[in-house]
Amino acid sequence: MKSLTLAAAAAALAACNSAPGQAQSGKAQSAGDAAAAVETRPPNGRNQTPAFPGQTRAPQVKANVAYEVTDVVGGLDHPWGLAFLSDGGLLITERAGRLRLFANGKLSAPIAGVPAVDARDQGGLLGLTLDPAFAANGLVYLAFSEPKGATNNAAVARGRLVTTAGAPRLENVTTIWRQTPALASTKHFGGRLVFGRDGTLFITGGERSDMEGRVQAQRMDGTLGKIVRIKADGSIPADNPFAGKAGVRPEIFSIGHRNVLGAALHPRTGELWAVEHGPRGGDELNIVRKGRDYGWTTITYGIEYQGGPVGAGMTQKAGMEQPIYYWDPVIAPGAMAFYDTDLVPAWKGSLFVTGLGPKYLARLTLDGDKVVGEERLLTELGERLRDIVVGPDGALYITTDEGRGRVIRVAPK
- At 347, phi and psi to the nearest 5? -90, -10
Q: Are 283 and 244 in contact (CB under 8 A)?
A: no
- Concatenate the DSSP letters of all residues of 191-231 into one string: --EEE-TTS-EEEE-B--SSHHHHHHTT-SSS-TT-EEEE-
Give me the pLDDT at residue 165, please.
81
Provide, rounded to the nearest whole percent, the portion of the chain with pLDDT above 90.
90
Residue 119 DSSP SS3: coil
Residue 343 DSSP SS3: coil
Residue 14 has pLDDT above 50, yes or no: no
Give me the pLDDT at residue 15, please.
36
Rounded mean pLDDT, 261-277: 98
Buried b (16+ CB within 10 A) or exposed e, 116-139: ebbbeebbbbbbbbbbbebeeebb
Rounded mean pLDDT, 340-346: 97
Rounded mean pLDDT, 105-122: 97
pLDDT band at 19 (very low <50, low <70, confident <90, very high): low
pLDDT band at 21 (very low <50, low <70, confident <90, very high): low
Q: Are 210 and 169 in contact (CB under 8 A)?
A: no
- At 211, phi and psi to the nearest 5? -65, -35
CA–CA gap between residue 386 and residue 19 (Å, rounded): 19
Rounded mean pLDDT, 243-257: 98
Average pLDDT, the chain: 92
Strand stretches in 294-332, DSSP E = 325-327
**For the segment 284-332, what is each residue's pLDDT rounded down to a tens digit?**
999 999 999 999 999 999 999 999 999 999 999 999 999 999 999 999 9
**For the segment 377-395, what is each residue's pLDDT rounded down to a tens digit?**
999 999 999 999 999 999 9
Residue 12 has pLDDT above 70, yes or no: no
Give me the pLDDT at residue 20, please.
53
Q: When comparing pLDDT for 181 and 21, which is higher? A: 181
3-class DSSP string for 364-396: EEEECCEEEEEEEECCCCCCCEEEEEECCCCCE
Residue 11 has pLDDT above 50, yes or no: no
pLDDT band at 172 (very low <50, low <70, confident <90, very high): very high
**pTM of the predicted model as reported, rounded to 2 decimal places:** 0.93
Buried b (16+ CB within 10 A) or exposed e, 1-25: eeebebeebbeebeeeeeeebeebe
- Concatenate the DSSP letters of all residues of 324-335 into one string: SEEESS---EEE
Give the chain's length: 413
Q: When comparing pLDDT for 264 and 32, which is higher? A: 264
CA–CA gap between residue 376 and residue 212 (Å, rounded): 36
DSSP state for residue 322 in the 8-state scheme: P
DSSP state for residue 5 in the 8-state scheme: -
- At 408, phi and psi to the nearest 5? -115, 155
Q: When comparing pLDDT for 2 and 387, which is higher? A: 387
CA–CA gap between residue 177 and residue 405 (Å, rounded): 29
pLDDT band at 197 (very low <50, low <70, confident <90, very high): very high
- Concatenate the DSSP letters of all residues of 127-155 into one string: EEEE-TTHHHH-EEEEEEEEEETTEEEEE
What ranges do the domains of the chain cover?
6-412
Rounded mean pLDDT, 373-379: 98
Q: Are 400 and 366 in contact (CB under 8 A)?
A: no
Q: Are 381 and 69 in contact (CB under 8 A)?
A: yes
Rounded mean pLDDT, 174-179: 98
Buried b (16+ CB within 10 A) or exposed e, 352-370: bbbbbebbbbbbbbbeeeb
Residue 234 DSSP SS3: coil
Q: Which fold has domain 6-412?
A: Neuraminidase (2.120.10)
Rounded mean pLDDT, 201-221: 96
Give me the pLDDT at residue 22, please.
40
Helix then strand count (H, E) for the chain reads 3, 25
Give catalytic residue positions.
188
- Distances 288 to 40, 42, 259, 265 between C-alpha atoms, Å: 29, 29, 14, 10
- At 12, phi and psi to the nearest 5? -75, -20
Task: Give the end-to-end CA distance of the chain in Å, rounded to a whole number.
Answer: 30
Residue 35 has pLDDT above 50, yes or no: no
> With DSSP H G I counted as helix, E B as strand and the rest as coil, what are the percentages for the chain, rounded to 5?
5, 40, 55
**For the segment 46-103, what is each residue's pLDDT rounded down to a tens digit?**
999 999 999 999 999 999 999 999 999 999 999 999 999 999 999 999 999 999 999 9
